[in-house]
Amino acid sequence: MKLFKVKEKLEKKQIKKRGTKKEYKNNINSKRNNLKIIGITGSRGKSTTALMIHNYLKFLGYKSTLYSSVMVDSPASHLKKNEAYEVAVRDEESLISIIEEVEAYGADYLVLEVNESSLEKGFLRDVPFDVRVLTNLNPKHNLEQYPEEEYVELKKSFFKDIADDCKCVFGFQDYSKELLDELLQLNSYPKFVCSSNYIATLKGLEKDKVKCLLTGLDNDISGMKLRFNLNDDTYKMETTLMMSHNALNILVALTALDVMDVLNVRKFEQALNQLVIPGRSEVYRVNGRLIIIDSHLPAMLDCLKHLKGQGKVNKVKVVVGSMGYGYKHWEDRFKTKEFALQRKDVRKFAMSLLPGVADYVYLTESDSGKENTNDICKELEANLEGLIPSSIILDREEAIKQAILDSEEGDAVFISGRGNRKVLCNSETTFKLVKDSEVVEKVVKELGW
């Protein structure tokens, strides 16, 4: 299969750099030829969608390997499952390792989250993806690293100059109809669109061009109930996922699995309701409280505002910190004064989202790097402008514990920013290990809830 020729090509490139020699064996068997590869890119929802697809394939009994920023699930890998990795496929060496693992495992499927930095480096260009997925596309998503036009072109590049047959799935939400039209013209392979009835109507997309269309969504503290049309059939689905921003992720996963001819909607629903997405809308329903861990502050605040407006949640307590700059192993762009100045704008914007939703804010550490944690928290406090009561608790574990202790029945505690990342860089040269979900579970156990 071509994937293993990609490995050989990359290895030869590495060997040329090092000046060493290696013998090659080309014994590709029929199992390898059956491997299907799904690549998933987008501004948000990449890792969640990848995990949904991977989880469903495993539920059906297939051998599936997953590389995403939310977790790696590869039986032949030394990497720990259920731990976050900032960039799942970082470079040529990591891609070689993944191909070797797929080969050793005899995988039926390989699900890869495709980050914009991986697209920029270009080493995925020769990978023969069977399905290429765009979850959504917000041109302003990563202004710290890429100007809008460059960012959009990187995402487009995943669908350009494709040598191998594939199917393309586009989630249509954040971007314009004109940009969707451009995406649909990038290659000659089959393309499938999923969206909501509201977005399609708002942006002028003809409904007959939508393969999977969300027609209804109800959301409360027990989970989401979806209604959608797929291939002209109507379905209802009940999920334990609370956060409405996951609705399109579900549609994208359904569409991708359908074009792969492996979808059974009822089995997908069963698999989804057995799934916990680490650090992404991870919800603990304990002692009358909701404790939520999620890395996306704006989307989660929108959800909590909606629940609060419905009277489903009383007070909202938010634990939040901010990344600094300058840890020794970070990429160069995270070490510059320019990046530090950009962070100030990001912090100010983040704090501006809290009034009207949060009732109390716990300001704490979150990868401070070279910057002083207390200085960051003081800056966040000043950005709140006294609109919400807050306190600074520098130790993240203590901040989470205090927020839970201060909560009452009917309240929601939202722990923002780090998802399921465990390594917290707390100076220019040091780090400590703290994982939000482990802290929550420890506190809940201590309280006997």
Query: For 201-216, what is each residue's pLDDT tens digit?
Result: 999 999 889 999 999 9
Tell me whether residue 97 is in a domain.
yes
277 assigned to some structural domain: no
For residues 438 and 373, membership in a common domain is answered with yes
Domain check: are 325 and 265 in the same one? no
Mean pLDDT taken over the chain: 89
Query: What element of type H or E holds 228?
Result: strand 223-230
**Domain end marker among 239, 272, 305:** 272
Q: What is the pLDDT of residues 138-164, one digit of tens each?
A: 888 877 778 899 999 999 999 999 988
51 and 142 co-located in one domain: yes
Token reading at 79: 């990497």
Q: Is the pLDDT of residue 260 over 90?
A: yes
- Which residue intervals of 158-262 are DSSP H helices? 177-183, 197-203, 246-259
**Which residues form the domain of 6?**
2-272
The percent of residues above 90 in pLDDT, for the chain, comes to 64
- pLDDT at position 27: 39
Give bridge partners of residue 234 from the DSSP assignment.
Answer: 229
CA dist., res. 111 & res. 54, Å (int): 7
Determine which helix (DSSP H) or strand (DSSP E) holds 292, and give its type and residue range. Answer: strand 289-294
Query: Among 242, 272, 302, where does a domain finish?
Result: 272
pLDDT at 24: 36
Provide the domain count of the chain: 2
Shared-domain flag, residues 232 and 380: no
- Tell which of 246, 272, 298 closes a domain: 272
Same domain assignment for residues 171 and 290: no
- pLDDT band of residue 332 (cuts 50, 70, 90) is confident
Q: What is the pLDDT of residues 404-446, one digit of tens each?
A: 999 999 999 999 988 888 889 999 999 999 999 999 999 999 9
Bin 35: left if φ > 0, else alpha if -120 < ψ < 50, else beta: beta
Q: Which of 10-14, 262-266, 279-283, 301-305 has the lowest mean pLDDT?
A: 10-14
